[in-house]
Amino acid sequence: MKIKISPSLLSADFGCLRREARLLEKHVASFHIDVMDGHFVPNITIGPPVVNRFREGLETPLDIHLMIEHPQLFGPQFRVQRGDSITFHEESADPIAETIDILRQTGARVGLSIRPGTPLDRLYRWLDRIDLALVMSVEPGFGGQAFLPEALERIRLLRRKAGDRLEIHVDGGIHRGNALAVIEAGGDVIVAGSAIYGAEDPESAVRELLAIGDRCRE
Ligand code: DX5
Ligand code: ZN
């Protein structure tokens, strides 16, 4: 699978989200958008009203990353389009099987994510029922944190367990210095916030990450 880049809008200017997206849309497979509720993580971002309005008129798929206690309640409030995904956390308060079904009814692709400290095998029993897994390589909540190197082994193990059928997203602390290691370990979709929107030239930051991916995989 060719490597995809999904810029995290958490590091973009929230005052002009659509303009920030337009800047990169021709290069990227999707945009990653972080939804936080102040309970599941100690931070609050944006929710369905803002994401839905932002979504209008944007062709590029959205990867919605729910860092919230109740994905069952809020997931269906996102007006998704073809190709969009909604990912929730294994550690959230809602029952997983039911949440997968509810999110699937929205028409979105469904993903499951785990915090760095959660045993990886807690993902295994859901692999047949999800479209993607999101491996966190920082503690969820904030952009700009340092990559946790133990994430590499978790990506490797997950890839071995899931085979090629699962799309693996990796999120947190990724930049041009460690992207190759993430891809070699088995990551398919590189989520990067500060390394892209914090760069002087976000477009060349994306191109550089894409070039690293191309060198590694066709
Ligand atoms: C963190 C978020 C990430 C974050 C990544 O909780 O889930 O998507 O935006 O930002 P960087 O790339 O700066 O670590
Ligand atoms: Zn995220």
Cβ atoms of 70 and 92 within 8 Å: the answer is yes
- Predicted pLDDT of residue 1: 79
The Cα–Cα gap between 142 and 94 comes to 23
Residues of the chain with pLDDT > 90, as a percent, come to 96
The Cα–Cα gap between 189 and 168 comes to 6
Residue 202 CB less than 6 A away from ligand 1: no
pLDDT in tens, 62-110: 999 999 999 999 999 999 999 999 999 999 999 999 999 999 999 999 9
Interval between CA 187 and ligand 1 midpoint (Å): 16
pLDDT in tens, 130-178: 999 999 999 999 999 999 999 999 999 999 999 998 999 999 999 999 9
- Predicted pLDDT of residue 13: 97
Positive or negative, the Cα torsion across 200, 50, 116, 133? negative
Confidence of residue 57 (pLDDT cuts 50, 70, 90): confident
Kindly identify the ligand whose nearest atom is closest to the C-alpha of 148.
1
Interval between CA 42 and ligand 1 midpoint (Å): 14
Helices (H) and strands (E) in the chain, counts: 9, 8
List Cβ neighbours of 202 (8 Å cut-off, separation of 6 or more): 7, 23, 24, 196
pTM: 0.98
Please report where in the chains the tokens 């997950």 appear, as a residue. 158
Residue 143 CB less than 6 A away from ligand 1: yes
Looking at the CA of residue 137, tell me the nearest atom of ligand 1.
Answer: 14
Which protein residues have their CB within 5 A of the ion that is ligand 2? 34, 65, 171
Residue 122 has pLDDT above 90, yes or no: yes
Interval between CA 125 and ligand 2 midpoint (Å): 22
Start-to-end Cα distance in the chain? 7
Residue 204 has pLDDT above 70, yes or no: yes
Residue 7 CB less than 6 A away from ligand 1: no
Phi, psi for 4 (deg, rounded to 5)? -115, 150
Q: Closest Cα to residue 35, out of 23, 27, 47, 24?
A: 47
Residue 195 CB less than 6 A away from ligand 1: yes
Cβ atoms of 108 and 80 within 8 Å: the answer is yes
Residue 216 has pLDDT above 90, yes or no: no
- Predicted pLDDT of residue 60: 97
Please report where in the chains the tokens 């932002």 appear, as a residue. 54
Instruction: Cite the active site residues.
Output: 34, 171
